[in-house]
Amino acid sequence: MKTSHSFDEIFKFQGKAKSWSLIMIAVGVIGAIFSFVVFGGERTFANLLLMGYYFTCVCICGIFFCAVQYVAQAGWSASILRIPQAFGKTLPIAAAILLAIILGGLFITHTGLNEYGKQTTLPYLYKAWALKGITTPGSVNYDAVITKKSGFLNIPFFLIRIIFYLVSYAILGRLLIKYSENEDALGGMFNYKKSFNVSVIFLVIFGFTVPLFAFDTIMSLEAHWFSTMFGWYNFAALWVGGLSVITYTLIRLRENGYVQWVTEDHLHNLGQLMFGFSIFWTYLWFAQFLLTWYANIPDEASYFYLRWVPEFKPWFWLNIIINFLTPLLVLMSRDSKRAVKVLKTACVILICGHWLDYWQMIMPGAVGPQSAWYTEIGIPEITIFIGFVGLFVFTTMSALSTFKSLVPRKHPFLEESLHHHI
């Protein structure tokens, strides 16, 4: 076992990775414009919201990962913290993009049919509650149910909330990264203790607001329906998706000659988390499904009814197969978590799987069925996905290259992490 490593290496973001990420961004931009013209603004905006939300969630997950490690006083993860920190550093960019998409979706309008089949002016996103006149009795768009919800679900308060969540996550994430960098410069326990305190504050705020973040951004697309499970279900998706991206990034960096101190033991731990929280995700998915199915109240069942039309049903089941059966069968054994290639494949499957998960949360309500199930995922979905992957790689890898070292070299638990063994 190698016991000494050079921590002076700085990650350089250049060459193939950089050019490919820029090409992917270009594909995404062209794809989005093309989709807007050919496939319509509604589908394009829904896809942008999907990827903006996914991007933001992965960045939030970076901060959440660090905070959990600090609060648990975990030693094993000390040497890999820079990767989630780089995600956290990117959160302001991701949040700005998500906010721009939401603002565009709310305020750019087109004419179309409202839910009573009457011609009216519709926003591209959140047409279920952000229509003009939806709370005015006598208006063509008047909706009594939404009017009762409008004390909470109105555009100014909605935007205030979204901004509050994202700004508070970003500031606390920023502090965590700042303390970690100070620790590298100064040493000692002082910054570690401050990181611990900030992590506790972050987890309290995050714990209370992350379900609301999911309610606002995603669940309000179908504002008539509600589920108290939805927030935690989205949290599980955020955590599994984020862990898969962290693990995948780590494996790719390791393959390219960086972070050589990361062993199968660290990857094994990440694999365990991915496996465990995939089961947790399934548990929440099923809890939401079983109660709705069993009670069969029209208000609640409408959500699954929409997803059981022929255009969505294959994807609905595929979602469960990918996100439950794959981790269950692939990641259960110890050997497969330690086989880097298997783990890498599982990461890719789960990253795509949680894209599909978000997709089937958003599309049936925001866009509705297309002509057939196989045309549901087409050029807009694929190009915008590619574009955001490129954007994610470009922004997070640029953030990673700003760190002076790829390891928090004066982290008090660093030695424990370097000798991690399970």
Partner 1 sequence: MSKTKYILGLFADPDEMMHGIDLLQKNSVPIYDVFTPMPIHGIERKLGIKDSRLGYAAFMFGCLGGTTIFSMAYYMLVHDWPMNIGGKPAFAIPDFVPITFEWTVLFTAFGMTLTFFYATHLFPGRTPRVMDLRATDDRFVIAIDAKGNTPHEDITKILKEAGAVEVKHNDRKYVSYE
Contact residues for partner 1 (CB under 8 A)? 286, 289-290, 293-294, 296, 332-334, 419, 421-422
Beta-carbon contacts of 324 under 8 Å, excluding residues fewer than 6 positions away, are 278, 279, 281, 282, 285
Strand partners, 121: 111
Contact 130, 155 (CB under 8 A): yes
Report the alpha-carbon distance of residue 64 to residue 298 in Å, rounded. Answer: 36
Neighbours of 196 (CB within 10 A): 15
Q: Specify the length of the chain in residues.
A: 422
- Shortest reach from residue 421's CB to partner 1, in Å: 4
Of 201 and 295, nearer to partner 1 (C-beta) is: 295
Of 181 and 416, nearer to partner 1 (C-beta) is: 416
Of 160 and 290, nearer to partner 1 (C-beta) is: 290
Distances (CA, A) of 127 to 143, 216, 378: 12, 13, 23
Report the alpha-carbon distance of residue 337 to residue 343 in Å, rounded. Answer: 6
- Shortest reach from residue 156's CB to partner 1, in Å: 41
Of 56 and 77, nearer to partner 1 (C-beta) is: 77
Give which of 140, 315, 129 is closest to 222, Cα–Cα: 129
Give which of 208, 270, 284, 202 is closest to 242, Cα–Cα: 270
- Shortest reach from residue 300's CB to partner 1, in Å: 14
- Shortest reach from residue 336's CB to partner 1, in Å: 12
Report the alpha-carbon distance of residue 350 to residue 243 in Å, rounded. Answer: 10
- Shortest reach from residue 298's CB to partner 1, in Å: 14
- Shortest reach from residue 316's CB to partner 1, in Å: 14
Of 72 and 290, nearer to partner 1 (C-beta) is: 290
Of 17 and 301, nearer to partner 1 (C-beta) is: 301
Of 99 and 291, nearer to partner 1 (C-beta) is: 291
- Shortest reach from residue 320's CB to partner 1, in Å: 12
Of 65 and 76, nearer to partner 1 (C-beta) is: 76
Of 313 and 334, nearer to partner 1 (C-beta) is: 334
- Shortest reach from residue 127's CB to partner 1, in Å: 32
- Shortest reach from residue 255's CB to partner 1, in Å: 24
